[in-house]
Structure 1
Amino acid sequence: MRLAYDRGVQVLDEAEWRRRTAMHEARVDSATTAHLARRRDHRKHPVEDFLFTYYSFKPAQLRRWHPGAGVGLSGGAGSPHGEWRFYAVEDDVVGVDGEAFTAARGDTLRFVRDLLVRTAGRPARFGCFGLHEWAMVYRLDPSDVRHAGWPLRLGASGTDAVVESHQVACSHFDAYRFFTPEAAPLNALTPTRESQPALEQPGCLHAGMDLYKWAHKLVPAVSSELVMDCFELARDIRALDMRAAPYDLRELGYEPVRIETPEGKAEYAAAQRSFSVRGQALRTRLVDAIDAVLPHAVTSWADGSSPGRGLGSRRGQSAST
């Protein structure tokens, strides 16, 4: 049976899955209405539009409710899911076809699981202070910076001085790759796409935001509730990211986190710690979702980490080290 899973299938009756669908649609509408209005009016927001422009998941895709692997919907004939990719219907129950999904996305499932487990197993670091955003504008003409419509809070020379007076220590490749040519050699690390599983750590804001990317890439095996929980973490992290950035966004209601001061550093690190806790819980849930559709995903982790309950284990068996 293509809907069979090692952990069994939870079947929702029609009233329940329709209720969950409506709740999810309302949640997504609340999160996307302002962005869609700006898009219609050809307006941009440097903070709130990021999740819709940097990541590839469109609001309409986000709004489509998926129960996740291992959950069936009774009354399959009345559900649109039966017409969607990676779903199958058996005895009037529709659910994610784990066999088809694994055949098509097995490499992605294994890569993401490896990355999540390795990341979760490392100690979080809280000493970067968001300097990646400063390194992205280091020694640039103000007209060339990404958000050129917004002033640099300390001006160009003041921004450069902050970079030069700190040790930049960014571990995330997708932040580091946007450093200016002059800033890249100042970083303590040289992240690459290949080294991402070896460097990513749970204190990194971008690693936390990317949980949304991994969640939406694994739809429909990952439930929409989990995707939205990752979305909301990414949204909250993005706000801190830009409050600690060199831009002055007070006109938009974003009070700066002045990371060039001891007080600002302490504020940033405290927020980082909170986001790290939320991110670790979501990593556990994402790995559990992957294991529901890819039961034999457990592999050996080079760093010998023991990431905790739910990560690196399957049905009571620990990942080999």
Structure 2
Amino acid sequence: MTAALAPAVLDAAEWQARRRTHEERMDVWLTPHLARRRRGERHPVADFLFTYYSHRPAQLRRWHPGAGVELHDADPAEFGRDYRATAAGVTLDTDAVRARRGESITWIRSLLAATSGRAPHLGCFGMHEWAMVYRQTQAELRHNAWPLRLSPERTAAVVEERGVRCSHFDAFRFFTPPARPLNLLTPTRETQHALEQPGCLHANMDLYKWAYKLSPLVGSELVADAFELATEIRTLDMRASPYDLAALGYPPVRVETPEGRAEYAATQRAFADRGAVLRARLLAAVPAEPVDSPGEERPS
């Protein structure tokens, strides 16, 4: 059982205002996404946040205060099974959440801690997206409704000339088969803790995934901050990709040129700085479980 701490207390007016603010903040992205979905309209940039990631729009919009907060005049049924009644309202049952999801929490926390302890590497220049289309025909492309900026031959030549230095397994697994041997590394799920590094665009985009997987221990404001960073990173990811998305309002970052690579690396560094702050906030929001001293009995 975790040590009991006096919870922060939010009166009804305060927590209801925070909930409304969160809902309005998320609706900026959710409203257009849901409208496109009703029309059956695909978006090669924005859909990623709702298709690759498993957090549903309704879950993203739902507000949680985070661990260690008591909500006055609240009904536990309104917040779900992870909440328990108090004399004045409700609070998150942190011990119950950790008991049910402890293994996942430990895995995520150890990955965040390992990543935060490394220096960022900024020399990939977005070649992971190029490796995902390497030696494919237009029909084989994931976003085949959109053309490539360069010919298939020139696209392949850029990959071969620049090389690929991707350390992120969940990007590497989408490489085309002929692109995989061109990568400097062969990342796997088993080596993720050893290879994840804080300059990687996808590692910083995935802070959103780790935030919602740690919810409701992590408050919704932190999940929303991670989501906003992920949307910006996704935009750079696709602007620097081989796809021509200018008609959608995404001018290219031409990483096949020195100027484009400089622009990419500068933006990547800014994202790494923001990601470091979010990673630290996630680690602080979910402290490591205390380790018992030898021979010491943990209180129940």
**TM-score category, normalised to shorter length:** over 0.9
Q: Provide the rounded CA distance (Å) in 1 between the counterparts of 2:291 and 2:63.
A: 25
SS at match of 1:76: coil
Q: What per-residue deviation string (whole Å, max 9, x for no partner) do you get for residues 26-63 of structure 1?
A: 00111211111000000010001110010000111111
Structure 1 contact 13–73 (Cα < 8 Å) conserved: yes
Deviation at 1:267, TM superposition (A): 0.2
Name the structure 2 match of 1:209.
Answer: 205
- The question of 1:247 aligning with 2:231 is answered no
Structure 1 residues 168, 100: CA separation in 2 closer, same or farther (over 3 Å shift)? same
Structure 1 contact 201–207 (Cα < 8 Å) conserved: yes
Deviation at 1:5, TM superposition (A): 5.0
Q: How many residues matched?
A: 292
Deviation at 1:6, TM superposition (A): 4.6
Structure 2 contact 133–176 (Cα < 8 Å) conserved: yes
Match of 1:296 among 274, 290, 294: 290
SS at match of 2:28: helix
Report 1:94-133 matches (<5 A): 94-133=90-129
Q: What per-residue deviation string (whole Å, max 9, x for no partner) do you get for residues 93-142 of structure 1?
A: 31110110010110111111110011011010000000000001111111
SS at match of 1:256: coil
Match of 1:54 among 34, 52, 55: 52
Report 1:65-80 matches (<5 A): 65-77=63-75, 80=78
- The question of 1:261 aligning with 2:290 is answered no
Deviation at 1:255, TM superposition (A): 0.6
Deviation at 1:265, TM superposition (A): 0.4
SS at match of 2:20: helix
- The question of 1:277 aligning with 2:285 is answered no
SS at match of 2:45: coil
| Letter paired with 1:281 | V
Report 1:2-81 matches (<5 A): 6-77=4-75, 80-81=78-79
- Segments of structure 1 that go 5 or more residues without pairing to the other structure are 299-321
| Letter paired with 2:285 | A
TM-score (norm 2): 0.94
Q: Give me the CA root mean square deviation.
A: 1.5
Structure 1 contact 151–247 (Cα < 8 Å) conserved: yes
Structure 1 contact 77–92 (Cα < 8 Å) conserved: no
Name the structure 2 match of 1:181.
Answer: 177
Deviation at 1:72, TM superposition (A): 1.0
Structure 1 residues 28, 59: CA separation in 2 closer, same or farther (over 3 Å shift)? same
Structure 1 contact 6–295 (Cα < 8 Å) conserved: no
Q: What per-residue deviation string (whole Å, max 9, x for no partner) do you get for residues 48-100 of structure 1?
A: 1110010000111111100000111011348712xx02111121331110110
Structure 1 contact 110–297 (Cα < 8 Å) conserved: no
| Letter paired with 1:10 | A
Name the structure 2 match of 1:90.
Answer: 86
Q: Provide the rounded CA distance (Å) in 1 between the counterparts of 2:246 and 2:82.
A: 45
Structure 2 contact 72–88 (Cα < 8 Å) conserved: yes
Q: Provide the rounded CA distance (Å) in 1 between the counterparts of 2:290 and 2:14.
A: 31
Bigger shift: residues 177-186 or 91-100: 91-100
- The question of 1:195 aligning with 2:191 is answered yes
Q: What per-residue deviation string (whole Å, max 9, x for no partner) do you get for residues 250-279 of structure 1?
A: 000101000010000000000000000000
TM-score (norm 1): 0.88
Name the structure 2 match of 1:313.
Answer: none
Deviation at 1:289, TM superposition (A): 1.0
Hey, which bits of structure 1, 4+ residues long, moved more than 4 A? 4-7
| Letter paired with 1:51 | L
